[in-house]
Amino acid sequence: MKDVLNQILNVEDEAKAIVQQAKEEAESIAQSVDVDIRQMEEDLVLKRKRKIDELTAREREEGQEQAAIIREQTQRQEAHMRQVCEEKRQEWIQDLFEYIISR
């Protein structure tokens, strides 16, 4: 009887260790995802700033009408990039969830 109880306790300890390891790995992955998302957002801001600088220069050279067209294109590209970032974020969260469940 003691052996059975000890085996049960050992299995429970092993399960706790697996859960703890999965939590640590999940936290690590989540931190990595956060860093990636922040980097993508920073890249977006820098890209937008460069585009704005380009637009400002073009406005001086080409006039308001052409700049408005370019601004619309930039906004569409930016919206697309945001969508891609969000899709990646959701994909990473789903992968993380599936990884944790598979443990």
What's the structural domain count of the chain? 1
38 and 101 in contact (C-beta within 8 Å)? no
- Provide the domain limits for residue 22: 2-102
How far is residue 36 CA from its own chain's centroid? Answer: 6
pLDDT in tens, the chain (103 residues): 777 767 777 778 888 888 899 899 989 988 988 898 899 889 989 998 998 998 888 778 777 777 788 889 999 999 999 899 889 888 888 888 787 787 7
44 and 85 in contact (C-beta within 8 Å)? yes
